[in-house]
């Protein structure tokens, strides 16, 4: 098999998401591609990967059962802090076509202290620019970039950083034109809960594996910017949930409103009622009914994607909530609940009123529970937000434009119906 993919990052998420998908594309659709992993920071897992021949086991686990797959798509690891020359040599292989990355939300940044002569430069985009400069000088084709960092417009931001380094390092107009014309920077949205190494479990395998990785079954990769991707990596021929689109924002909104919105509309009510995990709520008849009313009756009608698609996604979300292998504590979701409610739930409330000229009762009930929740000692938020929410009246809270970016006083009578109910 040819090495076709350079991957920045060797953590559990990429091994349980992108590499798992490439494995399936190799097995089911003849992609015939290998991944070279670059360890982008000094400390990482490349030594462990190399020690077991870059082979590891991935387990998908959920209400669907357990699926065990041996992953052998990684051909080798490059530790660029130990062997910068081997990293730069990757530019010489014309077979490389794709660059996948997950350098965390803080990874795609620009720092003007980086120098092209550094071995290596500090930031991920600077390291990438060093590689791209050599690729350009060799007269080879560019890459398709599939960043998995959880930031909005991740591909556009990565490209912007590369072009800033091109200016900082005075790499010339021809190089910048090559970046623009010969490289494709896709925006992506990734969604899969990766649960990592199963520390407290004994799993029987046919070899000693110190890099066993686990995740839920659900996976979603939405890719904007290259509609020809599946002509090169045949994800569409192996039943993988990869969506190519010209409008990623619709899918981001779907995720924020349905998945995150369900969490945020549930958590204050559930914590006030004595529940501790998402699964414990799903297993309770009353809580389950509350979530379903929020999602199916009041959130989905405010979204613009086809209803069948939205319902299918919501069904998947609730199945994910039932996963016995994932212990998702409500207290961790409750962090900064006011700002989360503003982004994840409030738009559904306002859009519902706009479209149907009536109040979304279940979501406003959740709003009331949010206010009640901040009157307890269970909250985890900025001190000024916590103090205000604890002492203010419902009217004062809803009128606070700093919290909601608008005056919500007209919701007061409806919200007050549900406070302490």
| For the chain, counts of helices (H) and of strands (E) | 21, 12
DSSP E strand stretches across 74-150? 74-79, 98-101, 144-147
> What is the predicted pLDDT for the residue at 199?
85
CB-CB contact of 372 with 272 (8 Å): yes
Instruction: Output 283-292 pairs: Cβ under 8 A, ≥24 positions apart.
Output: 283/322, 290/266, 290/362, 290/365, 291/262, 291/265, 291/266, 291/318, 291/321, 292/318
pLDDT at 420: 87
Largest CA distance in the chain: 70
The torsion angles phi and psi of 62, rounded to 5 degrees, stand at 180, -165
Sheet with 144-147, strands from edge to edge, namely 74-79, 33-39, 2-8, 98-101, 144-147, 184-185
Q: With a cut of 50, list the residues of the chain below it in pLDDT.
A: none
- Distance CA(367)–CA(370), nearest Å, equals 5
Q: Which residue has tokens 């909601």?
A: 404
The pLDDT of residue 202 is 82
Query: In this predicted structure, what is the pLDDT of residue 204?
Result: 85
Torsion angle (degrees, nearest 10) of CA 418, 365, 369, 390: -70
φ/ψ of 231, rounded to 5, equals -75, -20
> For residues 247, 260, 348 and 293, what is the CA-based torsion angle, rounded to 10 degrees?
120
Q: What per-residue confidence (pLDDT) applies to 186?
A: 98
Other CB atoms within a 10 A radius of the CB of residue 148 amount to 20
Angle between helix 154-168 and helix 124-137 axes, rounded to 10 deg: 70
pLDDT at 169: 98
Question: What domains sit in the chain, N to C, each tagged with a CATH number?
Answer: 2-246 (3.40.50.720), 249-416 (1.10.1040.10)
Question: Measured between alpha carbons, how far is residue 288 from residues 24, 42, 156, 280, 285 in Å?
Answer: 34, 45, 39, 9, 5
């Amino acid at each position: 098999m040819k090495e076709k993919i350079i991957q920045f990052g060797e953590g559990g998420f990429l091994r349980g998401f992108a590499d798992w998908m490439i494995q399936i594309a190799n097995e089911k659709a003849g992609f015939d591609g290998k991944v070279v992993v670059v360890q982008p920071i000094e400390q990482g897992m490349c030594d462990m990967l190399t020690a077991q021949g870059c082979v590891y086991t991935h387990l998908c686990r959920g209400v669907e059962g357990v699926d065990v797959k041996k992953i052998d798509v990684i051909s080798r690891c490059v530790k660029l802090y130990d062997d910068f020359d081997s990293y730069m040599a990757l530019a010489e292989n014309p077979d490389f076509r794709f660059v996948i990355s997950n350098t965390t939300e803080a990874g795609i940044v620009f720092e003007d202290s980086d120098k092209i002569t550094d071995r290596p430069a500090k930031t991920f985009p600077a390291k990438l620019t060093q590689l791209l400069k050599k690729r350009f000088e060799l007269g080879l084709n560019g890459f398709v970039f599939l960043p998995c960092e959880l930031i909005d417009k991740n591909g556009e931001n990565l490209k912007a950083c590369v072009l800033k380094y091109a200016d900082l390092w005075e790499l010339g107009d021809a190089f910048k034109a090559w970046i623009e014309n010969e490289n494709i920077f896709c925006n992506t949205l990734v969604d899969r809960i990766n649960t990592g190494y199963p520390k407290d479990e004994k799993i029987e395998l046919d070899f000693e594996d110190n890099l066993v990785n686990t995740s839920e079954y659900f996976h979603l990769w939405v890719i904007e910017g290259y509609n020809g991707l599946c002509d090169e990596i045949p994800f569409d021929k192996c039943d993988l949930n990869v969506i190519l689109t010209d409008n990623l924002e619709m899918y981001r909104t779907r995720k924020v409103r349905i998945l995150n919105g369900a969490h945020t509309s549930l958590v204050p009510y559930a914590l006030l009622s004595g529940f501790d995990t998402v699964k414990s709520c799903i297993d309770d008849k009353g809580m389950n009914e509350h979530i379903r009313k929020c999602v199916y009756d009041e959130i989905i009608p405010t979204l613009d994607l086809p209803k069948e698609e939205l319902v299918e996604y919501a069904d998947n979300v609730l199945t994910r909530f039932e996963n016995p292998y994932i212990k998702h504590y409500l207290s961790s979701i409750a962090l900064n609940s006011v700002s989360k409610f503003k982004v994840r739930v409030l738009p559904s409330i306002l859009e519902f009123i706009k479209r149907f000229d009536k109040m979304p009762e279940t979501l406003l009930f959740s709003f009331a529970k949010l206010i009640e929740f901040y009157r307890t000692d269970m909250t985890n938020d900025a001190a000024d937000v916590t103090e205000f929410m604890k002492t203010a009246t419902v009217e004062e809270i809803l009128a606070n434009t700093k919290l909601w970016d608008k005056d919500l006083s007209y919701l007061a009578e409806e919200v007050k119906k549900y406070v302490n109910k």
